[in-house]
Structure 1
Amino acid sequence: MHTRILDSDAVAEAADIAEITSAVEDAFGAYQRNDVLMPAKSYIDLPQYNGDFRSMPAYVEAESWDAASIKWVNVHPDNPEKFDLPTVMGTVIYSDPETAFPLALMDGTELTLMRTGAAAGVATDYLAVEDARTLGIIGAGVQAYSQLAAIASVRPIEEVVIVDVDDERVNAFIEAHQDEFTVREGSPADAASCDVLSTVTPVEDPIVKREMVGEHTHINAMGADAEGKQEHEVATLKDAKLVIDDYEQCTHSGEINTGWHTGELTDSDIDAEIGEIVTGEKTGREEHDTITVFDSTGLAIQDVAAAHVVYEAAEEQDTGMEFELINPERTQV
């Protein structure tokens, strides 16, 4: 048997965002049914290099597929300036759960972009108004691209408002999508008044005020991934139907973490986990709902789901390169 190696271009080529969104939805459902194994993320801190490593293993038994993977990812803030390398890099080992054979070694950075966008796509499908046609995105970095791709796969998006402090990023985003959508630069208030709003920034002080948010806007709060980060005012979260991906992660480091630590938000403010909505145990958007919010921290099961889709497509299309990582004849015991 051969192991398939997929660099970032090969992952992008094999990644169909609609299929990844569907697989992530499957994974959220499996998580709710306790059909996953997902140990807590582990850290190796390296203060001497101003960085750390993180390992994210998981196994998912969905209704029509099962898969296992581990993502090895780093955060080294000095990389761009000192070594001309990205701050964050990830590698995913995708394995056959029956035999443990490593089926693929793939770029985890591109995969993470896709699975994060897919999570927003799942939440938007359940929580946004059915005829949502306008999308606001605050933060024009790489994640903005997968947010648009995933959300446009579940709603008939026509107009996009993009917001960022970096004009070059804004112009690049507009240029990349102007043939598919009506795309314009706007203010946070312009973006927040759209049918759907995705925020993908690392801020610690809210950039979206309660009064900016439209009457029926669905918000994907994707940026908060550490204690102290916060993109939205607590008042917005309290007024909204609030859906999270994981209780432990969100209360510690998600969008709700700041309000949680001050006591402004409690269990009574959380309406559901996304898995409960996927499985039908709780409802998504209802007729009387106004604002809805999805607090996403990112789960290893999403990486498994995305890796499954990418690997199956790569096999079918013969994308990437095959190599003999393990020779059974030499390692047989």
Structure 2
Amino acid sequence: MPTKILDRRQVLECLPMRDAVEAVEEAFRAFALGEASMPPKVYLPIPEVQGDFRAMPARFSRYAGLKWVSSHTRNPRDHGLPAVIAVFVLSDPETALPLALMDATALTERRTGAAAAVASRHLAKAHAKIGFVGCGAQARSVLEAHRVVFGDGFEVLAYDKDPAAAEAFADEAGGRVASLEEASAVDVLNTLTPSRTPIVEADALLPHTHINAMGADAPGKRELALDVLLSASVYVDDPKQALHSGEVNVPVRDGVYVEADLAGTLGEVIAGLVARGEGRTIFDSTGLAIQDVAAAARAFERARLQGLGLDVDLLNREI
């Protein structure tokens, strides 16, 4: 069986955001119910460029897969390249055949945006005002996914330490530029920065604000002050990953927050195993390999159905 190769454009074409939202929600539910398997994420630091590679394997439904993803924050400045570059291998668990090799930068953008919107669907109490702290490429997919879930009737407030980035995003979104405090005083707040110092303070939030904390994905990163965590019910995508590299990792390291303080996982809420908390809620997102497998499977199936992508005999067993 040939291996299907999909580039960025083809992945985006074969994975509409609505499909990504459905796939990610299914993956969260399956993981909570023990119907998917996912070994720990492996980090390979590249300290000379302040970057790293991450290997993310998982099995979900009829597929297994591995994402090889980088986080090289100097890339845009030094090389004119994206900070995140990734590839994904989708395999058949029964035969081990490589079914597809695809750009996973687009895949990651789609499934990360979808994860935030799925969290908002299950944890937010309202969505009239949605704020963004950090207005880069990922903010656009988070916005698109929220429009899939909630429609486009909400107000968008944009803040970025780079005013030009906030203005560009606000213009595209049909929203408006706001101060950090104003962008935080919303129904749903999406934080999407690589910060290592807290940005959002509890005093800026509404009593019912739901936060999608998307930026912390490595040890030492954090976007929320400790008083924010302590004032909210915190749900994670995976406890081990969150404690190691999620929004709670620094407070855990410092001994002021422990695993028992977590309210549960998003998957448990979706599966009806854990109730949504009253008052403020936080989704601490580190990104799960099962999300990638679920999304990649959707892209592969659509590409196969529509005859898209390049079919290559990687094994070439005649040689």
With the shorter chain as reference, the TM-score category is over 0.9
Equivalent AA in structure 1 for residue 131 of structure 2: G
> What are the residue-to-residue correspondences of 1:39-54 with 2, within 5 Å?
39-47=39-47, 51-54=51-54
**In 2: Cα distance, 1:295 partner to 1:51 partner:** 22
Alpha-carbon separation, structure 2, partners of 1:294 and 1:78? 27
Partners of 1:279 and 1:225 in 2: CA distance: 25
**What percent identity do the matched residue pairs reach?**
43
**Residue in 2 aligned with 1:69?**
65
2 CA distance for matches of 1:48 and 1:193? 39
Instruction: Report the counterpart of residue 27 of structure 1 in structure 2.
Output: 27
Matched, 1:94 2:86: no
C-alpha distance in 1, partners of 2:120/2:284?
12
Question: Of the candidates 286, 310, 315, which is equivalent to residue 304 of structure 2?
Answer: 315
* Amino acid across the alignment from 1:193: A
Question: Secondary structure, in 3 states, of the residue corresponding to 2:149?
Answer: coil
Residue identity in the other structure for 1:199: T
- Tell me which residue corresponds to 1:244: 236
Provide Cα deviations, 1:63-86, integer angstroms capped at 9, x if missing partner: xxx321111122344544544333
What SS class does the counterpart of residue 150 from structure 2 fall into? coil
Worse overlay, 213-222 or 9-18: 9-18
Moved more, 76-85 or 89-98: 76-85
Matched to 2:11, the amino acid is: V
1:42–1:242 CA distance, 2 compared to 1 (3 A):
closer
Residue 190 of structure 1: which of 182, 188, 210 is its match?
182
Gaps of 5+ in 1: none
CA RMSD of aligned residues (A): 2.0
Q: Decide which moves more: 216-225 or 167-176.
A: 167-176
Distance in 2, matches of 1:15 and 1:279, equals: 24
Choose from 166, 170, 174 the match for 2:170: 174
Structure-2 separation of matches of 1:159 and 1:92: 35
Cα distance change, pair 120–80 in 1 and its aligned pair in 2 (3 A): closer
Q: Where in structure 2 are there 5+ consecutive unaligned residues?
A: none
The answer on 1:149 being equivalent to 2:144 is yes
Change beyond 3 A, Cα 1:220–1:47: closer
Residues 203 and 276 from structure 1, CA distance in 2 versus in 1: closer, same or farther, beyond 3 angstroms? same
Relative to structure 1, the CA distance from residue 207 to residue 43 in structure 2 (aligned partners, 3 Å threshold; closer, same or farther) is: closer
- Compute the TM-score of the two structures, normalised by the length of structure 1: 0.89
Other structure's SS at 1:205 match: coil
1:58 corresponds in structure 2 to: 58
What code does the residue aligned with 2:90 have? Y
**Distance in 2 of aligned mates of 1:147 and 1:259:** 26
User: Could you say what secondary structure the match of 1:98 adopts?
Assistant: coil
Compared with structure 1, are the counterparts of its residues 198 and 76 closer, same or farther at alpha carbon in structure 2 (3 Å cutoff)?
Answer: closer
TM-superposed deviation, 1:55: 1.5
Question: Which residues of 2 match residues 1-333 of structure 1 at below 5 A?
Answer: 1-47=1-47, 51-61=51-61, 66-129=62-125, 131-156=126-151, 157-178=153-174, 183-285=175-277, 289-328=278-317, 330=318
Give the 3-state SS of the residue equivalent to 1:93 in structure 2.
strand
Distance across 2 between alignment mates of 1:238 and 1:209: 11
Determine helix, strand or coil for the equivalent of 2:4.
strand
1:184/1:303 CA distance change after superposition, 3 Å? same
Q: Return closer, same or farther for 1:216/1:71 CA change in 2, 3 Å cut-off.
A: same
Measured in 1, the distance between the counterparts of 2:198 and 2:240 equals: 22
Contact 2:243 2:259 in 1 (8 A): no
TM-score (norm 2): 0.92
CA shift in 2, pair 1:221/1:47, >3 Å: closer
Alpha-carbon offset, residue 135 of structure 1 = 0.7
Q: 1:57–1:158: structure 2 CA closer, same or farther, 3 Å change rule? A: same
Supply the AA of the counterpart residue of 1:217. Answer: T
- CA-CA distance at 1:167 after TM superposition: 2.8
Task: Name the CA distance, whole Å, in 2 between partners of 1:76 and 1:207.
Answer: 22
Q: Distance in 2 between matches of 1:152 and 1:248?
A: 30
Pairwise CA distance, 1:186: 0.4
Indicate conservation of the 8 Å contact 1:69/1:92, yes or no.
yes
CA contact (8 A) 1:117 1:150 kept: yes
Preserved CA contact (<8 Å) 1:133 1:155: no
CA distance in 2: counterparts of 1:132 and 1:78, whole angstroms: 35
**Alpha-carbon distance between aligned partners in 1 of 2:73 and 2:272, rounded to the nearest angstrom:** 41
AA in 2 matched with 1:301:
I
SS in 2 for 1:154: helix
